[in-house]
Amino acid sequence: MRLLIRPGVPEVAEAAADLIEERLRSGLRVLGLATGSTPVPTYTELIRRHRAGRVSFSGVRAFLLDEYIGLPDGHPECYREVIRRDFTAHVDFDDDAVRSPDAWSADPDAAAAEYDAEIRAAGGVDLQVLGIGRDGHIGFNEPGTPLDSRTHVTDLADETVVDNSRFFGGVRDSVPTRALTQGVGTIREARSLLLVVTGAAKATVLANALRGEIAPGCPASVVRDHPDAVVICDEAAAAGLDRTPD
């Protein structure tokens, strides 16, 4: 695992976009996308580079990490709308090439298995972008999720519901409490992982993930035993780490 510490959010976004640009140039075909706040500056930087003619997503397929269960189809906070608004609609992604778990299926367990199969059929994820929850989740894999789990239906931890209520006007009861998420095992199968972490609120969990045990108690800890993982964080998020970046 490589750890890159940058001064602030703009520099983190630039470093993350540099990595994605480099992988696009060397033939990346399947990109795994996270939603949430953290990757937005990276996506904005990629949009800027696309407009400048530097990067293209033509022919690239994207797989989202997760999707809420229970929102009406087309709700502005469902992740397939969020990613479109924040990123994919502003670059040359084919809309059909951006996939997400079918949270509207009458049979979400079957939809989960189909999503894993779809990722496999696409040849697997070349580079998976990840954020981290304050409780150590990646995707919506809350602490305790087995490290070999596949895409599945899950309940959100209370802390995650509270954190995500900022996207729902601060109304906790408006936040769905269930989701379909790629499993930790699914995420680990990506050929490369890029974990982006910013802000002082993530300092404790980042230290746990990078310095504690690799264990279900902190799903994000799996970045450490992945053969090609890069963690890019800002100084604020790095505050709990001993400082030995590569």
Interacting residues toward ligand F6R by CB under 6 A = 34-38, 65-66, 131-133, 137-139
Catalytic residue among 135, 152, 226, 234: 135
Smallest distance from ligand F6R to CB 57, Å? 18
CA nearest neighbour of 83 among 154, 35, 15, 11: 35
Judge whether 50 counts as a catalytic residue. Answer: no
Smallest distance from ligand F6R to CB 142, Å? 10
Residue 66 or 234 with smaller CB distance to ligand F6R: 66
Position with the least CB separation from ligand F6R: 131
Judge whether 142 counts as a catalytic residue. Answer: yes
Judge whether 135 counts as a catalytic residue. Answer: yes
Please name the amino acid found at residue 160: T
Catalytic residue among 45, 86, 137, 152: 137
Residue 3 or 184 with smaller CB distance to ligand F6R: 184
Residue 36 or 216 with smaller CB distance to ligand F6R: 36
Catalytic residue among 67, 126, 142, 163: 142
Distance CA 115, CA 111 (A): 6
Catalytic residue among 45, 66, 86, 126: 66
Token duo for residue 156: 């959100």
* Inter-helix orientation angle 40-51/9-25, to 10°: 50
Smallest distance from ligand F6R to CB 109, Å? 20
Distance CA 80, CA 62 (A): 11
Token duo for residue 46: 């990629």
What is each CA distance from 79 to 76, 167, 176, 200, in whole angstroms? 8, 11, 12, 25
Task: Identify any residues that bridge with 30 across adjacent strands, giving them in sequence order.
Answer: 61
Judge whether 226 counts as a catalytic residue. Answer: no
Smallest distance from ligand F6R to CB 26, Å? 25
Distance CA 126, CA 128 (A): 7
Catalytic residue IDs? 66, 135, 137, 142
